[in-house]
Amino acid sequence: MRDLPLVSDPNLITGIEHAEDAGVYKLSPELALVQTVDFFTPTVDDPYTFGQIAATNALNDVYAMGGKPLTAMNIVCFPVKEMDIGILRDVLRGGLDKMREAGVLLVGGHSVEDSEIKYGLSVTGVIHPDKVLFNRGAVAGDSLILTKPLGTGILSTAAKSGEIDPQQLREAIDSMTRLNKKAAELIMENGSIHACTDITGFGFLGHASEMVEGSTVGLRINSAAVPLFNGLQKLVEEGFVPGGLYRNKEFRIAQIETADIFPSWLLDVFFDPQTAGGLFFSLPAELAASLVGKMHSAGIGAAAIVGEVVADHPGRIFVY
């Protein structure tokens, strides 16, 4: 998207220039629109579950900006001649159930005939213009918190080959169908968040890189504290990595430095493209532990302090 001409408008709070999670446009001093769109091919076999995952993934981009989603529209690509329409019905039902959980109203949609099924949402939400959470703005001394385990791309890839046990897949699905609604509410209640994004297609270190690229701060990530799904080492070493993982790694590896001894499978996991991943944000260190505690009490059990923001290697990430 970097070759597109940039739009400038005094009411545009975030546009396309900083890889933000959603566009934000100010309507009045008290109200801004949050808009995002996301759709993709199935990541799991079950149509209803796929619908839930795709809707969660799209809605989460509004939460990542600190916004409240209000309305959504379905985006559907479907091979109407080759596939049973009942499958589409199940996908849409999954999406609808997540919209209901989010308190979001379905107001329309569009479908086209395609060789492969694809589903997602365009979501519109609102936020106070002064409360928008940007992916940049982290301050040296901040703590970094991640709210969901990593590894959904690897687990989904292995599941397609029937290489993981149902329990392992269940955990990944539970995570991919969990809205970041409650986590975002706790974040907004805290009110002291400096930078926030959600972990999706570019992987943990990809989105972390966006947070510091070209800025005056860098990150230090304590890999032992980063929440992961079980069994990832074996799957990565057996080659169950999604195509996007190595693209993510290649694109961002120049920004990353690791400790002398760092397991290569774990670095791969840190670039695993996530679907409907957790929120990743920075806040003053003295506020971090109590917010993690509140998240645990609210059922966001994986939330953890995973690192800190530093001034000594601006724009770069050190992983140990």
Q: How far is CA 80 from CA 21, 74, 86, 113, in A?
A: 32, 16, 11, 6
The region of 56-64, 104-112, 121-129, 213-221 touching Co ion under the rule CB under 5 A is 56-64
Shortest Cβ contact with Co ion: which residue? 21
The region of 13-21, 89-97, 120-128, 233-241 touching Co ion under the rule CB under 5 A is 13-21
Choice between 125 and 231, CB closer to Co ion: 125
DSSP 83-145: S-HHHHHHHHHHHHHHHHHHT-EEEEEEEEE-SS-EEEEEEEEEE-GGG---S----TTEEEE
The region of 104-112, 194-202, 221-229, 231-239 touching Co ion under the rule CB under 5 A is 194-202
State the pairing for strand pair 142-146/105-113.
unpaired
Q: Report, in Å, the least distance between residue 277 CB and Co ion.
A: 8
x/- letters, 60..79, toward Co ion (CB under 5 A): -x--x---------------
Choice between 135 and 255, CB closer to Co ion: 135
Residues touching Co ion, count (CB under 5 A): 6
Choice between 198 and 308, CB closer to Co ion: 198
Residue 198 in the binding site for Co ion (CB under 5 A): yes
Q: Which helix (H) or strand (E) holds 77?
A: strand 68-78
Choice between 118 and 313, CB closer to Co ion: 118
CA distance 203 to 194: 21
x/- letters, 15..54, toward Co ion (CB under 5 A): ------x----------------x----------------
Choice between 198 and 268, CB closer to Co ion: 198
State the pairing for strand pair 68-78/118-127.
antiparallel
Q: Report, in Å, the least distance between residue 208 CB and Co ion.
A: 13
Q: Report, in Å, the least distance between residue 62 CB and Co ion.
A: 9
Closest-CA residue to 142 (of 196, 185, 189): 196
By CB under 5 A, the residues from 128 to 187 that bind Co ion are none
Q: Report, in Å, the least distance between residue 200 CB and Co ion.
A: 5
Q: Report, in Å, the least distance between residue 68 CB and Co ion.
A: 16
Q: What is the 3-state secondary structure (H, E, C) of 214-281?
A: CCCCEEEECHHHCCECCCHHHHHHCCCCCHHHHHHHHHHHHHEEECCCCCHHHHHHCCCCCCCCCEEE
Closest-CA residue to 39 (of 121, 94, 96): 121
CA distance 234 to 158: 11
Residue 210 in the binding site for Co ion (CB under 5 A): no
CA distance 38 to 49: 16
Q: Report, in Å, the least distance between residue 145 CB and Co ion.
A: 16
Q: Which residues contact Co ion by CB under 5 A?
A: 21, 38, 61, 64, 198, 200
